[in-house]
């Protein structure tokens, strides 16, 4: 299965989805022109990965900012990860936020309350 690796831009996060390592990483800013167009290949990748997931899947989310349409797409990513967990993979979510960024901490806590996956909130010192 091919990995997805994309460099981040001013509007899109960097992406590293690596099936071999069982790693899913989204970092940066997520304000793409078309969030659905940006996230659909990632959701499709997770769909394929779910058929042959590693025993442990590590998810690292480190966003500085995301817009409303991205938040829905990120929720869809988490829903796919939830399916992977239900199928037996140990899915661990690391939600990174900067030390003074209450909004990003709350966003992680909101996702955690919706999705049945273990979240680890990790504060990054500036």
**CATH code of the domain in which 76 resides:** 3.30.750.24
Q: Based on the structure, what is the number of domains in the chain?
A: 1
Provide the whole-model pTM: 0.95
Domain of residue 111, residue span: 4-124
pLDDT in tens, 28-87: 999 999 999 999 999 999 999 999 999 999 999 999 999 999 999 999 999 999 999 999
pLDDT in tens, 75-119: 999 999 999 999 999 999 999 999 999 999 999 999 999 999 999
CB atoms within 10 A of CB 88: 8
Residue 60 structure tokens:
């690292």
Residue 111 structure tokens:
């996702």
**In the block, residue with structure tokens 């690292």:** 60
pLDDT at 126 (0 to 100):
72
């Amino acid at each position: 299965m091919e990995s997805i690796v994309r460099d981040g831009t001013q509007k899109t996060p960097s992406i590293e989805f690596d099936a071999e390592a069982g790693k899913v990483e989204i970092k940066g800013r997520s304000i793409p022109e078309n969030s659905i167009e940006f996230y659909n290949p990632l959701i499709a990748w997770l769909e394929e990965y779910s058929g042959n997931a590693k025993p442990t899947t590590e998810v690292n989310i480190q966003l500085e900012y995301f817009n409303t349409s991205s938040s829905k797409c990120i929720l869809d990513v988490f829903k796919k990860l939830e399916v992977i967990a239900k199928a037996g993979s140990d899915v661990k979510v690391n939600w990174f936020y900067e030390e003074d960024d209450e909004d990003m901490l709350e966003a992680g806590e909101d996702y955690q309350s919706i999705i049945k996956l273990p979240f680890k909130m990790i504060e990054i010192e500036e």
